[in-house]
A = this chain, B = another copy of it.
Amino acid sequence: MKNVRVGIIGLGNMGKGHLSYILEGKVSGLELVAVADVTDAAKQWAKEHLPQEVAFFEQPQQLIESPTVDGVIVCTPHYSHPELAIECFKHNKHVLLEKPAGVYTKQVREMNEAAAGSGVVFSMMYNQRMNPLYQKLKNLVDSGELGDIRRTNWIITDWYRSQHYYDSGSWRATWEGEGGGVLLNQSPHQLDLWQWTVSLMPKRLRAFCYFGKARNIEVENDVTAFVEYENGGTGVFITTTIEAPGTNRFEVVGTRGKIVIENDKLVFSRLRESETEYNERTTESFGKPECWTIDVPIQGENTGHRGITQNWIDAILHDTPLIAPGEEGINGLMLSNAMLLSTWNDDWVELPIDEDQFLEQLQQRIEESRKVRGEQ
Contacts and interface: CB of A to CB of B under 8 A. Distances in A.
Nearest to A274: B244
Given A244-B275, A288-B245, A291-B244, A236 B238 contact: yes
A143 interface: no
Given A232-B213, A291-B244, A162 B258 contact: no
A350 to B, nearest CB: 14
A343 to B, nearest CB: 12
A276 B214 contact: yes
Contacts of A253: 157, 243
A283 B164 contact: yes
Contacts of A164: 282-285
Interface in A252-292: 253, 257-258, 260, 269, 271, 275-276, 278-280, 282-289, 291
A183 to B, nearest CB: 16
A100 to B, nearest CB: 19
A210 to B, nearest CB: 8
Interface in A198-244: 206, 208, 210, 213-215, 222, 224, 226, 228, 232, 234, 236, 238, 240, 242-244
Contacts of A275: 214, 242-244
Contacts of A226: 208, 224, 226
B245 A269 contact: yes
Interface size class, chain A = 35 or more
A70 to B, nearest CB: 34
Nearest to A165: B285
A262 to B, nearest CB: 10
A236 to B, nearest CB: 6
Interface stretch (A104-112, A148-156, A360-368): A148-156
Interface in A130-171: 150-151, 153, 155, 157, 160-165, 168
A289 B164 CA distance: 13
A251 interface: yes
B155 A153 contact: yes
Contacts of A285: 161-162, 164-165, 168
Contacts of A287: 162
Given A164-B282, A214-B276, A282-B162, A244 B222 contact: no
A168 to B, nearest CB: 5
A191 B285 CA distance: 23
Contact of A214 (B236, B243, B279): B279
A288 B162 CA distance: 8
A356 to B, nearest CB: 25
A232 B271 CA distance: 40
Contacts of A258: 243, 245-247
Contact of A208 (B153, B155, B206, B214): B206
Nearest 3 interchain pairs by C-beta: A165-B285, A245-B291, A160-B288
29 contacts: A150-B214, A151-B238, A151-B240, A151-B243, A157-B253, A162-B278, A162-B279, A163-B279, A164-B285, A206-B206, A208-B228, A210-B234, A214-B275, A215-B279, A224-B226, A224-B236, A226-B226, A236-B236, A242-B275, A243-B253, A243-B258, A244-B257, A244-B275, A244-B291, A245-B269, A245-B291, A246-B258, A247-B251, A247-B260
